[in-house]
Amino acid sequence: MVALAAASGDHGYRTRYRACPACGRDNAATAPGPYSKGDWQVKSCGGCGFVYLENVPVYAELAVDHAWEKSAPAEGAARRAENPVLQAMSKGTRFRLHWFKRARLASLAQRYVPPGMVIDIGCGDGWQIANLPGDYVRCGLEISKDMAERARQALEPRGGFVVNAPAAEGLRLMPEGKFTGVVMRSFLEHDAEPMATLGGVRHALAPGGAAIIKVPNYASLNRRVMGRRWCGFRWPDHVNYFTPASLKRLVSQAGLEVARFTPLDYAPTSDNMWMVARKP
């Protein structure tokens, strides 16, 4: 997608306009939806219904200003100030579920990702991929320079490598078919170019290789109950709001097939959903 406009709003960030990242429709004339916040305009596509942030921070600033290691603590503080009790409860739940979630990634990898090279998109400091059990060479792709450096220190001594680049660009740099696995855990909701990234995943995966995807589920019950206080809303860090249907649609459009997406993987009682996609 091309940057059509750059503007500076009340938030002080330079942004660029996006057409619908799922179908390409121009929704500039559509009124901002109820989940907009200040100048951050969350739109529901008039063509395909996909919910997304229309004006996204430009990538150059994302690498230095919006990198999650800087914005996440601020976001947490803002949420606690808004509703201290709910946020404290939700934090407790996250800690309890921590081990379960890690076990889920590990068990999906064990079942669907053949031995070989695996790359974690948005790898942060590399802890997640470093701790993935199995017979893998562990690699990472990370837009934050500081985090990429930390990931390098964790992964390079064990034979892996880390690329500091936006996801779609970084994946296109990889030799075709190099990886047996791609991990995108809590990544695609941040990505201004999800179709380009999924295309890059298809390029980087070997035939039979699998991508494990975890994203917030916009169709969750909690979003309907909590409305704009739902934990899946983060302005402007989350730029795509997937439902089970739209996630399936984008993955198929990118030329990947759905290897696993059971009703348990997208239960409406969970804030998140998991999918395993495969390169045919």
Q: Does 19 help bind Zn ion (rule: CB under 5 A)?
A: no
Q: Does 249 help bind Zn ion (rule: CB under 5 A)?
A: no
Q: Does 266 help bind Zn ion (rule: CB under 5 A)?
A: no
Q: What is the torsional sign of CA 117, 127, 210, 122?
A: negative
Q: Which is nearer to Zn ion, 46 or 76 (CB)?
A: 46
Distances 277 to 169, 221, 253, 260 between C-alpha atoms, Å: 20, 25, 12, 7
Q: Does 274 help bind Zn ion (rule: CB under 5 A)?
A: no
Residue closest to 52 by CA, chosen among 33, 65, 39: 33
Q: Which is nearer to Zn ion, 47 or 227 (CB)?
A: 47
Least distance (Å) between residue 50 CB and Zn ion:
5
Alpha helices per DSSP H over 166-243: 167-173, 194-204, 221-226
Q: Write down how long the chain is.
A: 280
The window from 14-22, 59-67, 197-205, 216-224 that contacts Zn ion (CB under 5 A) reads: 14-22
Q: Does 42 help bind Zn ion (rule: CB under 5 A)?
A: no
**275 CA to centre of own chain:** 12
Q: Does 51 help bind Zn ion (rule: CB under 5 A)?
A: no
The window from 13-21, 52-60, 104-112, 155-163 that contacts Zn ion (CB under 5 A) reads: 13-21
Expressed in percent and rounded to 5, the helix, strand and coil fractions of the chain are: 40, 25, 40
Q: Does 48 help bind Zn ion (rule: CB under 5 A)?
A: yes
Q: Does 141 help bind Zn ion (rule: CB under 5 A)?
A: no
Q: Which is nearer to Zn ion, 222 or 240 (CB)?
A: 240
* Strand 55-57 to 162-164 pairing: unpaired
**Which residue in the set 1, 11, 14, 25 belongs to the binding site for Zn ion (CB under 5 A)?**
25
Least distance (Å) between residue 130 CB and Zn ion:
37
Q: Does 47 help bind Zn ion (rule: CB under 5 A)?
A: yes
Distances 158 to 138, 152, 153, 222 between C-alpha atoms, Å: 8, 10, 9, 41
Q: Does 101 help bind Zn ion (rule: CB under 5 A)?
A: no
Q: Does 50 help bind Zn ion (rule: CB under 5 A)?
A: yes
Least distance (Å) between residue 19 CB and Zn ion:
8
Q: Does 20 help bind Zn ion (rule: CB under 5 A)?
A: yes
Residues in the interface with Zn ion (CB under 5 A) total: 8
The window from 3-11, 44-52, 123-131, 132-140 that contacts Zn ion (CB under 5 A) reads: 44-52
Least distance (Å) between residue 192 CB and Zn ion:
15
Write a three-state SS string for 155-187.
HHHHCCCEEECCHHHHHHHCCCCCEEEEEEECC
Q: Does 159 help bind Zn ion (rule: CB under 5 A)?
A: no
Residue closest to 106 by CA, chosen among 124, 141, 130, 125: 130
Distances 183 to 25, 133, 166, 200, 202 between C-alpha atoms, Å: 29, 13, 15, 13, 13
Q: Which is nearer to Zn ion, 48 or 165 (CB)?
A: 48
Residue listed under structure tokens 């990472």: 140
Interface residues with Zn ion (CB under 5 A) are 20, 22-23, 25, 45, 47-48, 50
